[in-house]
Structure 1
Amino acid sequence: MSGLLTPGSHRAARLADDRAVLTALLRVETAWARVLAQAGAVPPEQAEAVERTAAVLKVDLNALAAATEAAGNPVVPLLAVLREACGDAAPAVHRGLTSQDVMDSALMLIGRASVARVRADLVTAGDDLAARARLHRDDVTVARTLSQWAVPTTFGLRCAQWLTGIGEAVTRLDTLVYPVQYGGAGGTRALGTEITSRADQSALAETFAALLGLSPAGIGWHTRRAAVTGIGDALTRVTDALGVVANGTVLLGRPEIGEVREGRAPGRGGSSTMPHKQNPVLGILIRSAALQAPALAHQLHAAAAGAVDERPDGSWHAEWPVFTRLCELTAVAASQAADLVPGLVVDVDRMRERAHAAGGDLLSERGPGSAEPGSYLGEASLLVDAAVTAWQAVRDRRR
């Protein structure tokens, strides 16, 4: 993965790239072989051989990618490689599954891992914002509405707003479900004559899900793509929230404002021609992610709406690069936010000076003779406390 046109992609290495997809596909095939062995459909030693082989299988990703075109998906050529490597255990590979079962389950593994990474970085950023909100709860600054100065507020309350957005995004992530995919070639779960009862098939699906750490699915979701679009929507909610933080820090860091600036780090933010510049690179890249993510989520919904028959022709295929890109994009943005927020440098003196200098305008709604800006902050401090308390409940929900 080079990432020349996706700055920061190294932060998500092996999370949603081709190597991650390959690893997830092999995990699914291995788990299914174990399911078959537990059900008595294949000898246990064959399932064990599949697991051992998959763990050490060497796959040329370039060759696999080239072979993918002939089948339309990477599962078919991967199975050829895996079966050849398994030798006598090859009958235990993929029996009763379809390529979409494997691909969809693998994408759920990637989605779950990506969300876990994103959540951890959001907690880092959120914890810092919570501390800043309390630290600056009484530090007066200018509220801006429709790009103009409005009334006095506090920087603590602004941080609380950013924090609440992150908390709402984390809450959405925590509601996600990652279902296993098991429908067979036509959604009928037609495994074969060895196992025919509906109860046995349901038990297989539950075992399959448990081995992968995914949720059972009562019926295959080959053409019902809510699991995919749900993850996409939740990740986009994350970039929405982070975009607001990044927009605020980049704007407030303009030299003519200078109230907040991105922290310095060796080699970051320099200009190719102007040595005096210190560009807010992390904020800029997070803003870029926030601008890209909605279009990716839209593409997932367009693909979901285009599903036909028992297995889609093209709309399913359109999901893969979009889904993995959205996972990577959001993971990178969250990692950048986890660096950006703790490194912010806040100039409370400049905020206070600007608020006092503009006091007459900021307090004009109060009429002539208004007092200091700090006297007109209402419940700002209480709102900060409420936001921080709410955040603490969100961050600790999954402990």
Structure 2
Amino acid sequence: MTAVADAFDWGLLEPAGRAGSVVSDDRILDAMVELESAHLAAWSSLIDVENTATLDATALDRDALLRESRRSGVPVVGLAQALRQQGGTLVHQGMTSQDVVDSALMMVSRDALTGARDALRAAGRVFAALAREHRGTPFAVRTLSQEAETTTLGAVIGGWLDVVSSAVETVDVAEFPLQLGGAVGDGEAFARLAGRPDAAAILRRRISAALGLADPGRAWHTDRSPVLAVARAAASICSAGGRVGRDLALLARDGVATPLHGGASSAMPHKKNPVDAVLLVANGLRVSGPVAVLQVASLSYDARPAGEWHAEWQAWRETLRLAAESASLLQNAADDLVIQARRAPATTTTAPRGAREVDAAIARFERLREGDRS
């Protein structure tokens, strides 16, 4: 393996970039090779040919892949050539570049959003505990930036818990389907090469099972609704983080809720900035750009459009990157949160204002499935 010289983005302007490394080029390349490996095994079995070759992503020449990617306009042409040197002529047989890119990005999407879900759940548990603790803490809220009425801090935190629950629910309904259609999406190459009309359906079933992807029972080359569903889940995480981040920044300004470990200022050493809150808001604002690209690119045409599909790659990856970062930031912000407001003494049996909303938010969060999406 050779190192790619002059890496473009190593995180200088991406303070929370480490969490986003789950969608790095290396992870995407690994997913592409995993897809090719699963296809090779399924294809060899289907046509009854023994193939014991192992495809190894670590042995690939990254610089050679970049050169061929620039020449071909897609990363898969050079990849398939290199992998055939490892696994023989059956590698990539019947597939097209879009099969590999779309399926790999779906694998990365599944892993990134599952990890983000875990972080959201961790943040939600903290918010649930704080909402209970401050169920009766009086708090003056604002509407249209002006002081409105007094509710409770628990009700405010219950609102955070609600947007976290909504983001988790959006992830839970997202599906991550395999893409497998061949040159123009009709699967004809598989049928012709295997000598059986059901070859594409069999391969989809076997490969999706091997990779842990959904079997869509079809190719979705120009139906980009699966991509938009993933983007919607990623954007919901960024929106939830941004919503909570705005409140955290304002509460830190007023001294109500502050980070235990704030960020430094280059000019004012006395400051302790709510860094997680600031970055959460920034990610909530940034995600609209790549989501808009994916929405526009979904107006596809032909069996593969000239430019629309290509425009998706980085936009798709960016939505996942921002979602992974936001979930990590939100978990850290929750763990680092210090509430300064004093709780009111329990002097009455009457439930405090907003108590029903607090209880409902907690109950909704606790109904969410624990652990993974299965």
| Same fold, judged at TM 0.5 (above) | yes
Q: How does 1:1-399 map to 2 (within 5 A)?
A: 2-13=10-21, 15-40=22-47, 43-44=49-50, 46=51, 48-49=52-53, 52=54, 54-55=55-56, 57-84=58-85, 86=86, 89-189=87-187, 190-191=189-190, 193-254=192-253, 257-264=254-261, 269-305=263-299, 307-349=300-342, 377-378=352-353, 380-396=354-370, 398=373
Structure-2 separation of matches of 1:57 and 1:237: 34
Larger helix fraction of residues: 1
Distance in 2, matches of 1:237 and 1:91, equals: 43
The answer to whether the 8 Å contact 2:191/2:200 transfers is no
RMSD, matched Cα: 2.0
| Contact in 2 for aligned 1:182/1:217 (Cα 8 Å) | no
Report the Cα offset of residue 163 of structure 1.
0.3
Uncovered stretches (5+) of structure 1, i.e. residues with no partner: 353-371
In structure 2, do the counterparts of structure 1 residues 346 and 219 end up closer, same or farther at CA, with 3 Å as the change threshold? Answer: same
Whether contact under 8 Å (1:152, 1:374) holds in the other structure is no
Amino acid in the other structure paired with 2:335? P
Alignment CA distance shift 1:348-1:374 (3 Å) = farther
- So what's the TM-score if we normalise by structure 2? 0.92
Contact 1:282–1:337 (CA under 8 A) maintained in structure 2: yes
The question of whether the paired residues in 1 share the 8 Å contact of 2:38 and 2:207 is answered with yes
What residue is the counterpart of 1:356 in the other structure?
none
> Residue type of the partner of 1:344?
L
TM-score by length of 1: 0.86
Deviation at 1:396, TM superposition (A): 2.9
How far apart in 2 are the matches of 1:152 and 1:119?
Answer: 33
**Equivalents in 2 of 1:201, 1:220: separation in Å?**
9
How has the CA–CA distance of structure 1 residues 38 and 153 changed in structure 2, closer, same or farther, with 3 Å as cutoff?
A: same
Secondary structure of the residue that 1:149 maps to in structure 2?
A: strand
Identical positions, percent: 33
Q: Which amino acid aligns with 1:240?
A: S
Alignment partners' CA distance in 2, 1:156 and 1:226: 38
Size of the aligned set, in residue pairs, is 362
Shift of 1:214: 0.6
Equivalent in the alignment of 1:368: none
Structure 1 residues 290, 56: CA separation in 2 closer, same or farther (over 3 Å shift)?
closer
CA 1:241 to 1:374, structure 2 compared with 1: closer, same or farther past 3 Å?
A: farther
| Maintained 8 Å contact 2:64/2:78 | no
Q: Distance in 2 between matches of 1:198 and 1:96?
A: 13
1:186-213, Cα deviation, whole Å (9 max, x unpaired): 1121225453433343122111111111
Where 1:181 maps in the other structure, the secondary structure is: coil
1:373 and 1:283 map into 2 onto residues whose CA distance is: 35
If you compute each CA radius of gyration, which structure gives the higher value, 1 or 2?
A: 1
Which residue identity lines up with residue 338 of structure 1 in the other structure? Q
